[in-house]
Amino acid sequence: MQTEEPDDAPPLVKAFLRPGPEPARRDTDAFARSVMARVRRECPAEAAGPWYAAGPRWLVPALSLGLAAVAVMAVLLPVSELSATESLLMSDGEPTHLVPVLARSEQSAVDSMLAMALWED
């Protein structure tokens, strides 16, 4: 967008304020070299390493998300309240591959004995 510009500088100001000669190319090159030396020293470029070098950057949020998802599922979908005995009875007394799984330490002693008796039958 071009806006209307006010009148030009007075002739005296124009005559006095004129751009000087541009720096020589070699001066500009030397200047650029010294700036780049400072840039390299003060702002080292991040080396692009192999993919696993960047692991922690995505691993931490990924693990956090996973743990959060597990926690949400544990809250929203509680483990069935069925006891081992009930599970066995629901299977019509047929010994199934679930029995060893169900015979766990948290079972009551009665459950364990009942499970064993059914297994021996």
Partner 1 sequence: MVEWPGVTSSTGSGEQALVARILAGEQEAYAQLVRKHHPGIFGLCAAMLGGRTQAEDAAQEVFLKAYKALPRFQGQASFHTWLYRIASNHCLDLLRQGLRRPAASWDELLQTQGDAVHRLLAARPDEQLRQEDADLVHRALACLPADYRLVLTLRELQGFSYEDIARAMDCSLDSVKARLRRARAELESRLRHFLSAEIV
Interface ranges with partner 1 (CB under 8 A): 1-3, 5-6, 9-10, 12-23, 25, 28-29, 31-36, 38-40, 42-43, 45-46, 48
Note whether 117 and 88 are within 8 A (CB): no
Nearer to partner 1, 28 or 96 (CB): 28
Q: How near is the Cβ of 8 to partner 1 at its closest, in Å?
A: 9
Nearer to partner 1, 8 or 92 (CB): 8
Closest CA to 17 of 30, 4, 8: 8
Q: How near is the Cβ of 16 to partner 1 at its closest, in Å?
A: 6
DSSP string, 74-107: HHHSPPP---HHHHHHHTTT---THHHHH--TTS
Nearer to partner 1, 45 or 117 (CB): 45
Quick count: other Cβ atoms within 10 Å of Cβ 102?
Answer: 19
Nearer to partner 1, 43 or 117 (CB): 43
Q: How near is the Cβ of 81 to partner 1 at its closest, in Å?
A: 55
Tokens describing residue 89: 């009875």
At position 86, the amino acid (one-letter code) is: E
